[in-house]
Chain A
Amino acid sequence: NAGVTQTPKFQVLKTGQSMTLQCAQDMNHEYMSWYRQDPGMGLRLIHYSVGAGITDQGEVPNGYNVSRSTTEDFPLRLLSAAPSQTSVYFCASSYSETGVTEQYFGPGTRLTVT
């Protein structure tokens, strides 16, 4: 049981490049989400999914796309990287049990856009 895995751990992009951050979980969780963490800003929700084929926007969705074709995988795509997207990105998964939800986080991807 690997939990939530993220690849890559580190990435450097040039402005305008695109890339996909990978996230996978092996716990059969319904919910998956992407956050970005910036100094002094805490965690901000980018996109989330409540099941395969269903995604929705969070607080800061602009510049990012997601899809959820399987329960296990939830990739995050940066369409045209900008320096403002330099951040640490966390993927998380959770289940719903009578409304009580605990998030399981991956180790993060540190992205630098130059």
Chain B
Amino acid sequence: GNSVTQMEGPVTLSEEAFLTINCTYTATGYPSLFWYVQYPGEGLQLLLKATKADDKGSNKGFEATYRKETTSFHLEKGSVQVSDSAVYFCALPSGGSYIPTFGRGTSLIVHP
């Protein structure tokens, strides 16, 4: 089935630093790709998505580009804020159904 691999955390940055969280995938065909974010004490919520190769998803200053050549969907933000501290999950449909499979999550800690 489809799977994703995320970089391990935690990632610790100072406010206004540049962020990259790596995600690579293994999949049959070209499924949609997603990034979800989980703030402390909450459930996951969709951050952004890309539905086909070369698409760029963006939301709240975060961006990710669906790159089929490198099977990657890295999450980036040019200037992080303390409020971005959360756990970020890369995801894609599992292959056998529309239920997604998630990476292990990457914790981001942003210091003032």
Contacts and interface: CB of A to CB of B under 8 A. Distances in A.
Interface in B30-58: 31-32, 34, 36, 42-46, 49, 51
A103 B100 contact: yes
Interface residues of B, number: 24
Contact of B99 (A33, A41, A108): A33
A58 B44 CA distance: 19
A90 B104 contact: no
A101 interface: yes
Contacts of A60: none
B73 interface: no
B99 A48 contact: yes
A27 to B, nearest CB: 14
Nearest to B42: A107
Interface residues of A, number: 26
Contacts of B42: 107-108
B104 A102 contact: no
Contact of A42 (B31, B45, B104): B104
Contacts of B43: 4, 90, 92, 105-108
B71 interface: no
B101 A103 contact: no
Nearest to A44: B102
A45 to B, nearest CB: 6
A77 B93 CA distance: 25
Listed from nearest, the 4 A-B pairs whose CB atoms lie closest are A105-B43, A42-B104, A43-B102, A101-B98
Interface of B: 31-32, 34, 36, 42-46, 49, 51, 89, 91, 93-94, 97-105
11 contacts: A35-B102, A41-B104, A43-B102, A45-B99, A48-B99, A94-B99, A96-B98, A99-B31, A99-B32, A100-B32, A100-B49
Given A48-B99, A108-B43, 9 more contacts: A31-B98, A42-B105, A43-B44, A43-B89, A92-B43, A100-B49, A102-B46, A103-B44, A105-B45
